[in-house]
């Protein structure tokens, strides 16, 4: 059950003494500020203290867009560009493609046997997606299967934490159920064991927790819905300064006069809280706005736009060398896939051992 030896040309393993985290995104196009505050910012903070794996869920994209394979490929590359722009450092973190880590698909099949069908169908995130995306009764078999697949994405890395936005928490709950069940039926861990004790008691998997970002749900510029590319209310990481200014100008508050006490729970103030860095200035803006002390939406918006452009400028800078350079991105992905497979193959070997599925060792090479 030892992991396969790797060839000399492959990069060294990531340091293994650090706690491990895994998270990912479905490639749907360019990333926006909701991704930044909900999860990516946290990832950037964690990359020096944790061993990090960031997955591009390109197979999951096929659950609803199988007829748009070329777009999925383009979006998968684009998302890496945004990661790099936001400060994910490929030397520290492994950025990799779900489709190039076969252990994930194999674990998905096995984990599908550990979850009751009705449990999967009750997953609230799946149910919401069926509603929001109008999938009705016509969705593919693979659509609900992706939720099982996500448990495999995560557990293949045996991480302790998973930095995600709030909407992913139900997937994490299901992942924890799979991990507990696996440890119970294949590793002899007691049903009454505390989550924290599972590994100590011989379980293959730690029971991972969701690490939700400071702003789990950033509102879009419409002031009504969560920021989302498909709802047309997003400010993108790659938006130029003028576009950012224009979009911030559109944030809807419904306030009419400068002397009318303003509601600091509106979307505009969510941006103030999330993006203006000086806490004293944030407190002052809130106080004056709430009292109707001659502070207009326009002024607040200007300060928000300035703060956003300050945040985004270094990102634009970091993005530039990768603009139009797909080869550089593919090199980063190849390296990330090698590192990801090393861990995922090790997990798969442990799983096969525990589930009495190990007959002979195997070796995986990437071209």
Binding to ligand TRP, residues 274-293 (CB under 6 A) = none
Interface with ligand TRP includes 218 (CB under 6 A)?
Answer: no
Q: Which is nearer to ligand TRP, 217 or 299 (CB)?
A: 217
Stretch that binds ligand TRP, among 86-94, 147-155, 272-280, 356-364 (CB under 6 A): 147-155
Residues contacting 269, CB < 8 A, separation 6+: 263, 285, 286, 289, 300
Query: Quick one: which of 164, 221, 268, 333 contacts ligand TRP (CB under 6 A)?
Result: 164
Stretch that binds ligand TRP, among 149-157, 218-226, 268-276, 308-316 (CB under 6 A): 149-157
Q: Which is nearer to ligand TRP, 60 or 81 (CB)?
A: 60
- Name the minimum Å distance from CB 205 to ligand TRP: 14
How far is 329 from 94, CA to CA, in rounded Å? 12
Query: Quick one: which of 6, 26, 99, 270 contacts ligand TRP (CB under 6 A)?
Result: 26
Interface with ligand TRP includes 57 (CB under 6 A)?
Answer: yes
In degrees, rounded to 5, the angle at the alpha carbon of residue 164 between the alpha carbons of residues 129 and 160 is: 130
Instruction: Provide DSSP, 329-357.
Output: HHHHHHHHHHHHHHHHHHHHHHHHHHTT-
Q: How far is CA 158 from CA 51, 154, 172, 337, in A?
A: 11, 7, 13, 16
Interface with ligand TRP includes 150 (CB under 6 A)?
Answer: yes
Interface with ligand TRP includes 168 (CB under 6 A)?
Answer: yes
Inter-residue contact 106 to 348 (CB < 8 Å) = yes
How far is 130 from 122, CA to CA, in rounded Å? 12
Interface with ligand TRP includes 154 (CB under 6 A)?
Answer: yes
Interface with ligand TRP includes 97 (CB under 6 A)?
Answer: no
Q: How far is CA 229 from CA 80, 105, 163, 236, in A?
A: 17, 28, 21, 9
Q: For the window 5-24, what string marks contact with ligand TRP as x by the rule CB under 6 A? A: ------------------xx
Query: Quick count: other Cβ atoms within 10 Å of Cβ 71?
Result: 14
DSSP single-letter state for residue 140: -
How far is 307 from 311, CA to CA, in rounded Å? 6
Stretch that binds ligand TRP, among 52-60, 105-113, 134-142, 211-219 (CB under 6 A): 52-60
Q: Which is nearer to ligand TRP, 82 or 153 (CB)?
A: 153
Q: Where do contacts with ligand TRP occur on this chain (CB under 6 A)? A: 23-26, 55, 57, 60, 150, 153-154, 162, 164, 168
């Amino acid at each position: 059950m030892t992991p396969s030896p790797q060839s000399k040309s492959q990069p060294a393993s990531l340091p293994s003494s650090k706690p491990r985290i895994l998270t990912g995104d479905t490639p749907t196009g360019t990333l926006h500020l909701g991704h930044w505050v909900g999860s990516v910012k946290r990832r950037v903070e964690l990359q020096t203290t944790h061993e990090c794996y960031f997955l591009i869920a390109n197979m999951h994209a096929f659950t609803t867009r199988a007829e748009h394979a070329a777009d999925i490929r383009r979006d998968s590359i684009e998302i890496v560009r945004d990661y790099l722009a936001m400060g994910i450092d490929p030397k520290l973190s492994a950025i990799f493609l779900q489709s190039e880590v076969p252990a994930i698909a194999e674990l998905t099949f096995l984990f599908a046997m550990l979850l009751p069908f009705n449990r999967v169908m009750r997953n609230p995130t799946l149910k919401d997606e069926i509603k929001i995306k109008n999938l009705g009764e016509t969705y593919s078999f693979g659509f609900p299967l992706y939720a099982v697949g996500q448990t495999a994405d995560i557990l293949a890395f045996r991480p302790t934490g998973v930095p995600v936005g709030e909407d992913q928490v139900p997937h994490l709950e299901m992942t924890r159920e799979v991990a507990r069940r696996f440890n119970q039926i294949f590793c002899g861990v007691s049903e009454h064991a505390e989550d924290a004790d599972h590994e100590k008691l011989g379980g293959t998997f730690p029971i991972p927790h969701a690490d939700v970002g400071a702003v789990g749900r950033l509102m879009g510029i419409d002031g009504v819905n969560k920021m989302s590319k498909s709802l047309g209310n997003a400010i993108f990481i790659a938006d130029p300064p003028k576009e950012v200014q224009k979009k911030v100008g559109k944030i809807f508050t419904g306030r009419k006069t400068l002397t009318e006490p303003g509601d600091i729970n509106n979307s505009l103030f969510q941006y103030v809280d999330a993006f203006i860095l000086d806490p004293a200035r944030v407190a002052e803006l809130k106080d004056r706005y709430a009292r109707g002390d001659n502070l207009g939406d326009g002024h607040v918006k200007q300060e928000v736009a300035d703060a956003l452009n300050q945040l985004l400028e270094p990102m634009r800078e970091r993005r530039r060398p990768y603009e139009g350079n797909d080869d550089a991105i593919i090199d980063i992905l190849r390296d990330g896939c090698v590192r990801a497979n090393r861990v995922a193959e090790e997990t798969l070997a442990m799983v096969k051992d525990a589930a009495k599925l190990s007959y002979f060792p195997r070796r995986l090479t990437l071209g």
